[in-house]
Structures are given as C-alpha cells and as structure tokens.
Amino acid sequence: MEIHTTYHKTPIGIAEIIGDENGIQSVSVLNNDAIANSILHQKTPDCLQDCVNQLEEYFIGKRRSFDLTLNPKGTPFQKKVWEALLNIPYGKTRTYLQQSKALGDVKAIRAVASANGKNPIWIIVPCHRVIGSDGSLTGYAGGIWRKKWLLAHENPVKQQSLF
C-alpha cells in the first residue's frame, strides 16, 4: 500500500500529514516554514483529505474532537499511552502522574512521559494536554510556545465584566 504525504499551513506552522488507506500514521509540525509553495499547493491525496479538513475545523474553533482512523507506528506500550491521551477532554489537562495512574502503574511516569514525547500524531492525539505536576508546560516536540498556544486555543481566557 502506498504511503502518502501532504502539507497544510496552520496558524502555528506547516503540518506534515502522512498516511494511507489504513489510517493516519503521522501528523507533525515542521520547524522550518521554508516549504516551497508548490509543495503546499499540491493536491491532497484522498486518504488524507479528511484529516486536513478536521485540522482546519479544529483551528477555526469548530471541532473539539477528531473522527479519523489512526495507524501510528510504535511499540505496544507507546500505543497504549497514545490511546490514553485520547481520553483527555478538549480544554482540559492531565499531569504525567495522572496519566501513569490511569494506565495502572504510578511508577511508569518516566516511561509514560517518554512515550508522550514520541507521539507521532500531533494535536489529534493530544499530548499537548499533558503537563507537569506543578502545572508547568513541560516538554513538547513542537516547542513549548506551540503547546501554550494549543492550550490557550482550547481554553481561551474569558474577559470578565467590569460591572
């Protein structure tokens, strides 16, 4: 089966989407925005179009959850961790310790953090929703500034009335 790649501009960088008829294997953000316009404007393969559409809806605030077939490559443990990430609701956060407890082994906190860091499906598998026990925005493969942006996008500060 042929693996396809497409690129899509988002408010926080160029997303590289990889997958095939069996599902999305990877969604990552490129740290180099110097992708040629010809690549950005190539026709999106049919098997990736729904992913592009749903990411667009997410970024304009019309989507809070994704409905895609995912097919990430990883170890059984990593896949278990990534699956647990899907249970963190939009606009909410969990700590690495809470994630470890949810997976049934509080002592696995470092392994859980490591697996989170290897999550190949950016945003859709929401590793950005996992924070340090002290509330800090610990590591994020896309950069801490993107993690902060995504959390603010999902939970914007509401302006309070002065009167």
User: 127, 131, 150, 151: which one is catalytic?
Assistant: 127
Tokens (6 digits) for 153: 């996008």
Q: Is 127 a catalytic residue?
A: yes
Q: Residue 119, Cβ neighbours under 10 Å: how many?
A: 25
Q: What stretch of H or E contains 103?
A: none
Distances in Å between the Cα of 17 and the Cα atoms of 21, 47, 73, 74, 82 are 13, 10, 14, 17, 17
Provide CB contacts within 8 A for 91, sequence distance 6+: 64, 154, 155
Type of residue numbered 86: L
**8-state DSSP, 158:** P
Give the residue numbers annotated as catalytic, written as ranges: 127
